């Protein structure tokens, strides 16, 4: 600067300021750009999309589909009046193939292992280890069919662990039937809330709504089922269900006017396995046949 | 003596001292700017780490809740679950630091703790109705984990 002053070129020595200002501006620009770029890189690397998991819906879907297929297969196998196991197996095989193709599209393997049909217990899932005390249906207005059949009394509990079906409503107990094995026959005790209505001996079938034992009306059993349940909004409950093996049929109308049906002649227990790149689920699925949609 | 006369007098001005002064001021300024940048970056890293921990924690709680729901619905309907296994991939390092994930069965929390950073503890609560989660601690460098349901003990294990 001193040299410039001495040479008398004072005018041009202030041009450096512009360069300095431009330099600062460029520096500031670089800093701002760096910070912005940094944020962009952080934001794009943050894990946000990995939490979408639909496997539970796939599983629920598979369960619903398999249960309905079993019921359909049973209906198909029964179309000639008696159970045709070949048709039943064929129906399920073709379902297994179609379902696994269908799931393969969405990246899932679906495997379904059909087991033999089991004899039905009166427990919730129909298997020997199922829940003992459960409710078949609630909010019932009328029951038109109520039939129990116990073909093998050796699998029926004795008087200390008898199987009982009770009818209850919001105010309490209305009617009950207790079944236990006694020297090769079925001992039937029917009661209402205060007293015993009657005791009967049956060999296999008890038709409560039809007032029949072993398909006949003699010696005229009177279960008084509709007398005790008429006009109430009741539930049908089973107690000690795993102490009896047999078939049951319930049908009637709900308080809402809809029909309800529960028929159990067999219990299917297939194993379903689903597998994707990040999960694997294996479970069994007890299915009551013919089920609730007959 | 008038001040105006003093101004152009540069007899007491040393070029070297002027240079040293300018240089030290520049260095000081640079150091200040750099260190403020560094602390800014550090804070940004902690924020990002916490965000990432929360995201991954929520992801794990979703898996736990899924298993809990599947087990609950199966038990209610009388079915039996034989196996539920989920694969879980998490990054080995978040913001350049490895971390640990602790599952605490008593407080029902998933605790994320970044290595060497005390401020980045994140607790993500989970809730289960039908199963219990076994307490365990995972270290991030493994990267691939498995969440599995054990039907005999009715527990969820993560390893």
Q: What is the pLDDT of residues B121-154, one digit of tens each?
A: 899 999 999 999 999 999 988 889 999 999 999 9
| Cross-chain residue pair B55–A46, CB shorter than 8 Å | yes
Instruction: Quote the CA–CA distance of B54 and A47 in Å, as a whole number.
Output: 10
Distance, in Å, from the CA atom of B9 to the CA atom of A217, rounded to the nearest integer, reads: 137
Question: Cβ distance A125 to A267 under 8 Å?
Answer: yes
Here the tokens at position B48 are: 């990002």
Contact A271 B85 (CB under 8 A): no
* Chain A, nearest residue to B61 by Cα: A51
How does residue B89 score in pLDDT terms, banded at 50, 70 and 90?
A: confident
CA distance A114 to chain B (A): 15
Sorted by sequence, the CB contacts under 8 Å of residue A73 that are 6+ apart come out as A87, A88, A91, A92, A95
Q: Is B8 near chain A, with CB under 8 Å? A: no
DSSP element (H, E) containing A248: strand A247-254
> Does B44 contact chain A (CB < 8 Å)?
yes
**Could you tell me which residue, A6 or B97, shows the higher pLDDT?**
B97
Pick from A150, A165, A79, A162: nearest CA to A120: A150
pLDDT of residue B6: 62
Show the low-confidence residues of chain A (pLDDT under 50): 1-4, 7-8
Quote the CA–CA distance of B75 and A124 in Å, as a whole number: 11
pLDDT for res B50: 87
> Under a CB-based contact definition with an 8 Å cutoff, are residues A280 and B83 in contact?
yes
Residue A190 CA to residue A228 CA, distance in Å, equals 12
Interface test with B, best of A34, A41, A52, A283 (most B CBs within 10 A): A283
End-to-end Cα separation, chain A, in angstroms: 106
Which of B98, B104, B51, B69 is closest to A39 using CA atoms? Answer: B51
Query: Best residue in A47, A70, A133 to probe B by mutation, most B CBs within 10 Å?
Result: A47
At A11 the pLDDT is 54
- Bridge partners of B122, per DSSP, are B112
Q: Given the DSSP bridges, would you call strands A279-284 and A271-275 parallel, antiparallel or unpaired?
A: antiparallel
Shortest CA distance to B154 belongs to which of B87, B74, B60? Answer: B74
Going by C-beta distance under 8 Å and a sequence separation of 6 or more, which residues neighbour residue B19?
none
Task: Tell if the CB–CB gap between B66 and A53 is shorter than 8 Å.
Answer: yes
CA distance B9 to chain A (A): 12
Give the mutation candidate from A42, A52, A127 for the B interface (greatest B CB count, under 10 A).
A42
Chain A residues in contact with B69 by the CB 8 A cut-off are 56
Answer whether A272's CB lies under 8 Å from A111's CB. yes
Contacting residues of B for A278, CB less than 8 Å apart: 86-88
Whether residue B110 has pLDDT greater than 90: yes
ipTM of the complex: 0.72
- Closest Cα to residue A179, out of A91, A226, A221, A239? A239
> Where do the structural domains in chain A lie, given as residue ranges?
56-115+269-291, 134-266
Question: For A220, which DSSP code?
Answer: -
- For A294, the 3-state DSSP assignment is coil
Instruction: Tally DSSP H helices, then E strands, for chain B.
Output: 2, 8
Q: Residue A99 has which token pair?
A: 């379902």
Give A31-84 as a DSSP string. HHHHHHHHHHHHHHHS--STT---HHHHHHHHHHHHHHHHHHHHHHHTTTSS--
pLDDT of residue A1: 44
A77's tokens: 């196998």
Pair A57, B73: CB distance under 8 Å: no
Using a CB-CB cut-off of 8 Å, the residues of chain A touching B79 are 125, 283-286
Considering only CB atoms, A46 lies closest to which of B52, B74, B88, namely: B52
**pLDDT tens digits, A133-147:** 999 888 988 888 999
Yes or no, beta carbons of A280 and B73 under 8 Å apart: no
Asked whether A205 and A142 are in contact (CB, 8 A), the reply is no
- pLDDT tens per residue across span B72-84: 988 888 888 999 9
The CA-based angle A283-A286-A287, given to 5 degrees, is 130
């Amino acid at each position: 600067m001193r040299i410039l002053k001495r040479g008398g070129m004072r005018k041009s020595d202030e041009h450096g300021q512009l360069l300095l200002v431009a330099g600062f501006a460029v520096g500031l620009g670089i800093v701002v750009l760096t910070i912005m770029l940094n944020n962009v890189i952080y934001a794009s690397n943050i894990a946000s999309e990995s939490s979408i998991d639909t496997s539970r819906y796939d599983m629920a879907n598979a369960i619903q589909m398999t249960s309905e297929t079993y019921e359909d297969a049973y209906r198909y196998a029964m179309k000639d009046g008696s159970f045709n196991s070949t048709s039943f197996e064929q129906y399920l095989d073709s379902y297994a193939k179609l379902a696994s193709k269908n799931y393969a599209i969405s990246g899932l393997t679906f495997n379904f292992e059909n087991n033999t049909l089991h004899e039905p217990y009166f427990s919730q899932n129909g298997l020997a280890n199922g829940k003992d005390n459960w409710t078949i249906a609630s909010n019932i207005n009328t029951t038109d069919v109520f039939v129990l059949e116990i073909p093998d009394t050796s699998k029926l509990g004795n008087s200390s662990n008898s199987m009982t079906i009770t009818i209850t409503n919001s105010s309490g107990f209305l009617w009950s039937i207790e079944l236990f094995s006694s020297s090769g026959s079925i001992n039937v005790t029917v009661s209402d809330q205060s007293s015993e209505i009657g005791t009967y001996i049956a060999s296999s079938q008890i038709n409560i709504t039809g007032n029949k034992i072993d398909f006949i009306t003699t010696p005229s059993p009177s279960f008084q089922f509709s007398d005790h349940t008429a006009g109430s909004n009741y539930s049908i409950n089973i107690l000690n269900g795993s102490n009896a093996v047999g078939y049951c049929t319930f049908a009637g109308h709900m308080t809402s006017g809809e029909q309800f049906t529960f028929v159990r002649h067999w219990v299917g227990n297939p194993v379903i396995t689903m597998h994707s790149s990040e999960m694997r689920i294996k479970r069994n699925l007890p299915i009551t046949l013919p089920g609730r949609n007959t | 003596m008038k001040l105006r006369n003093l101004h152009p007098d540069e007899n007491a001005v040393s070029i070297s001292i002027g240079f040293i002064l300018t240089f030290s001021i520049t260095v000081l300024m640079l150091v200040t700017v750099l260190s403020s940048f560094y602390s800014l970056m550090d804070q940004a890293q902690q924020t990002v780490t916490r965000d990432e921990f929360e995201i991954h924690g929520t992801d794990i709680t979703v898996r736990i809740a899924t298993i809990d729901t599947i087990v609950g619905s199966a038990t209610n309907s009388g079915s039996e679950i034989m196996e539920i296994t989920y694969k879980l991939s998490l990054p080995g390092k978040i913001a350049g630091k490895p971390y640990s994930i602790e599952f605490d069965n008593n407080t029902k929390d998933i605790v994320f703790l970044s290595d060497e950073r005390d401020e980045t503890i994140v607790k993500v609560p989970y809730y289960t109705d039908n199963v219990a989660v076994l307490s365990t601690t995972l270290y991030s460098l493994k990267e691939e984990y498995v969440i599995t349901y054990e039907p005999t003990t009715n527990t969820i294990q993560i390893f």
